[in-house]
Structure 1
């Protein structure tokens, strides 16, 4: 996705005040040379921590209740908070709602912590559901395992760890199964999980999902700069982190043919200022908004930059890598539909369709490409719903999204 161009933007901005502009390849070459010269300075790769600790280590025990309430993401920002110990580090999980209600697990995107889906979660609880959210590794209050790639294997494991930490059953006989909802990167994660474990699910809802992003959207220069070995990993992390901490650029794509860049990715999960002012993601802390939460995460989480880069490299984002995963899900649904008359067949995904919701003006997940590719790879086993909004619609149109999901349950 767009974040492949992270370092390109940083380097371009660094040279913006020069009287002459060097060609991009010259800038890349200069960066590579600089990386070699500074290799002795940036030696973080040699003795890197295995687990990068989340901000929970500095909030839970050292901040007063008043100080916690003033945080952009308070420790108890959503109901039912718990920290789940695991070999991969601690995982922050939130779970609340009727214990006997339909179960919904929500998985957030690459840039935001799970509070971005707080509005959807509250609205689903209002409709009688039991909801669970968790911060992906390296986001929010979840630690980050720095020695493992952030790919569909790690994310599937994290989902299982979150589910098994519940005081009630989310899987197995008598659980009623659960609806899996994924947003952006979380949509790619959800599709991959469903392709392996369809019988655990009652339905699958993907909100502006990654996983089928066409390679043609990613610039050649971005691919070079995000390849391992081009420059020292610690230097690249420093540059990416510095660019992230500078905050989002407001320069959306002007047309569909324009390549994805860092400005798009940094802004697309963030609502407009007017939308941010009216959204209520946390009812305990109604002042919480996505832009502030992301800024806090960038500056406070020691593992965020690593998680961000690793997800871009290994996560379920590009269609070239994920087509087979989606095709496996489509084949399962087609086979299930062909045996629907057999009452002895245990059905997974009883709705028989993948429900895909998207914004008409999304600059990251292009509507026409998504419909074409998802329909083809899923064998027609998909239904679509569109909103007059961009990539950020789950955090601004949450009541409408919750209404759609509730009708499936």
Structure 2
């Protein structure tokens, strides 16, 4: 899961690596100097009016393309089966749903940088195993619009999940729906855990893939924490530099780092990308088997008017850090402990029949450290967690999707 505190490290690449212990005055002075050099960008944007929506490429780009031109895109309009666009007060939401209508239901939530195509291989593998699957683009990613006047926090994400569910022609939440399994990857793992803490009665199982939510502030570099905490640089300047860094390319996966090394902006950019070895093996879209995550991200940055805003807002407000998410994980843990102690009476059949949260992680994940995750998740969930590890990095759901699908299908 990308870290919002890393976002401004790129602003100081030329000096941060050489002077990591600069005092507050020096950091402030450097930020001010950057502002002077970019004075045309310094004027703060006016407050956005209510119901302000930044459109996705669906309305900005696709309407003027031919079918053949669409097929040549790094992210075609029909990249996954069962596409639908759901109108809402927050803007349009792109949802993909396919698989047996009477099969076990699985809803998946993707990470902060990629559109939902990153989970396309896993979705196809679950459908192959008889499941009914929903994946959707979070606001500001892929073909979903961006509500620019609202923070991208758990309230907004909960609403989006509910909108995706209720737009289905199949019942996902009714008494006869049979409940659904919720799978969250990276940022999506933090979203899924928080959602489950409020609505465990809707779920048959909860699977978290390299989840955000338990990240320590101490893992974040000093300069990034300081600049964000003091708002020394206007948002439009930060958005300019974030977009510039995201467009810089070529994007390559982050290399494993020493355990105690601070996380930087490069980790936020590359964390969900496959390694060069595995990138050629992944098939995320069966309609377009040549597509890959790095190309989709670059196209998204260039063509989605709300992506950079959504990226930054999520890093500031999303379910990422332990200090804000511990209460959600603990609430879920308390529910599971009560369910386990009285499975046949008051809580019977009300949610999460597996009685455990299933957490999957990569051994060489450079962002979600497995040792910290095991310690913190076990404590927050009251021991109601099961862990499995893969010989991979943060990107394993898009490269080891058959193995992950096999694990999930056994729960169903």
TM-score between both structures, scaled by the size of structure 1: 0.94
Query: Taking structure 1 as reference, are residues 46 and 66 closer, same or farther at Cα in structure 2, changes over 3 Å only?
Result: same
Show the 5 A alignment for 1:18-167: 24=22, 26=26, 28-35=28-35, 41-43=41-43, 45-46=45-46, 48=48, 50-167=52-169
Deviations 1:326-361 (A, max 9, x none): 000000000111111328733310110000000000
User: In structure 1, what is the equivalent of residue 6 of structure 2?
Assistant: 5
CA contact (8 A) 1:84 1:93 kept: yes
CA contact (8 A) 1:180 1:203 kept: yes
After superposing the two structures, state which structure 1 stretch, 222-231 or 337-346, moved more.
337-346
After superposing the two structures, state which structure 1 stretch, 150-159 or 38-47, moved more.
38-47
User: In structure 2, what is the equivalent of residue 318 of structure 1?
Assistant: 321
Tell me if 1:400 matches 2:403: yes
CA contact (8 A) 2:201 2:351 kept: yes
Q: 1-side partners of 2:47 and 2:221: how far apart?
A: 33
Q: 2-side partners of 1:99 and 1:251: how far apart?
A: 39
Q: 1-side partners of 2:60 and 2:15: how far apart?
A: 33
CA contact (8 A) 1:217 1:259 kept: yes
Show the 5 A alignment for 1:3-402: 3-13=4-14, 24=22, 26=26, 28-35=28-35, 41-43=41-43, 45-46=45-46, 48=48, 50-227=52-229, 229-247=231-249, 248=251, 252-342=255-345, 345-402=348-405
Aligned to 1:61, the other structure's residue is in SS state helix
TM-score between both structures, scaled by the size of structure 2: 0.94
Deviation at 1:48, TM superposition (A): 4.2
Deviations 1:43-73 (A, max 9, x none): 4621647111111013432111111011000
Q: 2-side partners of 1:15 and 1:326: how far apart?
A: 35
Q: 2-side partners of 1:200 and 1:359: how far apart?
A: 28
Q: 2-side partners of 1:296 and 1:226: how far apart?
A: 27
CA contact (8 A) 1:360 1:386 kept: yes
Which runs of 5 or more residues in structure 1 are unaligned?
none
- The alignment covers a number of residue pairs equal to 406
Q: 2-side partners of 1:216 and 1:14: how far apart?
A: 21
Aligned to 1:32, the other structure's residue is in SS state helix
Kindly report the root-mean-square deviation, in angstroms, between the aligned alpha carbons of the 2 structures.
2.1
After superposing the two structures, state which structure 1 stretch, 21-30 or 53-62, moved more.
21-30
Deviation at 1:234, TM superposition (A): 0.9
Query: Taking structure 1 as reference, are residues 237 and 14 closer, same or farther at Cα in structure 2, changes over 3 Å only?
Result: farther
CA contact (8 A) 2:104 2:132 kept: yes
Q: 2-side partners of 1:102 and 1:182: how far apart?
A: 17
Which runs of 5 or more residues in structure 2 are unaligned?
none
CA contact (8 A) 2:340 2:355 kept: yes
CA contact (8 A) 2:7 2:268 kept: no
Q: 2-side partners of 1:179 and 1:30: how far apart?
A: 48
CA contact (8 A) 2:256 2:364 kept: no
After superposing the two structures, state which structure 1 stretch, 341-350 or 195-204, moved more.
341-350
Query: Taking structure 1 as reference, are residues 201 and 22 closer, same or farther at Cα in structure 2, changes over 3 Å only?
Result: closer
Query: Taking structure 1 as reference, are residues 381 and 47 closer, same or farther at Cα in structure 2, changes over 3 Å only?
Result: closer
Deviations 1:237-291 (A, max 9, x none): 1111111111336653530000011112222210012211111000000011111
CA contact (8 A) 1:362 1:391 kept: yes
